[in-house]
Amino acid sequence: MDWSGLTVGVTGGAGFIGSHLVDSLVDCGATVVVLDNFSSGKADQVPSSVRLVSGSVVDTTARSEALSGCDAIFHIAAIASVVACEEDPEKSASVNRDASLAILAEASCPVVFASSAAIYGNPQQLPVSESHPIEPLSHYGADKAAADAAIRSLGDSAPPAVAMRFFNVYGPRQDPSSPYSGVLSIFTTRAVTGEPVTIFGDGLQTRDFIHVTDVVDALVLSAESLLVEGTMSPLHSRAFNVCTGRPVTLLDVVSAIESNTGKMMQVTHEPTRAGDIRDSEGDPSALKEVLAWNPQVELEQGLADLLNAL
């Protein structure tokens, strides 16, 4: 789809996922406005052609400046750290829940919301489909679940909206210096520097890692469906897993990195942390059915991208 002539708002557009999305939208011809307070994002990750509004999603004035008049909104901004949300649940609720609900209420255009697999809690069966019970274990998961539920309750009189439930997203620009960053970003950085990595548990726990470019493709295609079909889109007022359905163990990750670098990694094991989910595997079939989307980046190639970006 040619996005020329469309103005698109992206909250969190200076961050890891958001900045990749912004790059894609600019390439599609869209006029992009980014709202970011740079708590984790970086201004130099935003193209110079993009209008950048510095502010928080909880600020009604900043939201209005960035999002009013947009033809579509991608709401990516969040406090993405489960630990930080547990330490300050009021801030988590303000940013992850209340601001998300406010954006939905204020929007007069299609909204694509970055939800999370954290809303499912401990998997009761694998793979996890969208019909899995919503039983979040954290404030982060509960706040994401509230906005996710609000989208699924929308009727045909509301602007079209969809919730995209991200699993373990990885790729370039994921900050490895943050204790909350994805394990792949941390592992690849330490492989290059020769530092040891710590695995909590036996390393046989599984994760459904999906490359950021596949996530961006899903986001853009979902917005196109909402823009073209409106509330008649098969995505409207629904939620979809964004995952590969191909789980790997952490020991598989170590082996893949060693294969890419030609170096053995120093791996230490610590006891399993309380609250860690043992296995995670999503079912992406619903999203594949309604969109011409299929994750393309295999783990080996994705890790090579990460290593090349360092």
CA distance 122 to 128: 10
Contact (Cβ atoms closer than 8 angstroms) between residue 100 and residue 113: yes
CA distance 77 to 114: 8
β-strand pairing of 206-207 with 248-249: antiparallel
Burial 179-210 (b: 16+ CB within 10 A, else e): eebbbbbbbbbbbeeeeebebeeeeebbbbbb
Longest pairwise C-alpha distance within the chain: 58
Instruction: Give the active site residues.
Output: 140
Burial 300-310 (b: 16+ CB within 10 A, else e): eebbbbbbeee
State whether residue 130 is helix, strand or coil.
Answer: coil
Identify the bridge partners of residue 114 per DSSP, sorted by sequence position: 164
Give every CB contact of residue 94 below 8 A, 6+ residues apart in sequence: 58
Single out the residue of 48, 42, 53 nearest to residue 26, CA to CA. 48
CA distance 18 to 302: 18
DSSP letter string over 218-251? HHHHHHHHHHHHGGGSTTTTEEEEES-S--EEHH
CA distance 138 to 147: 15
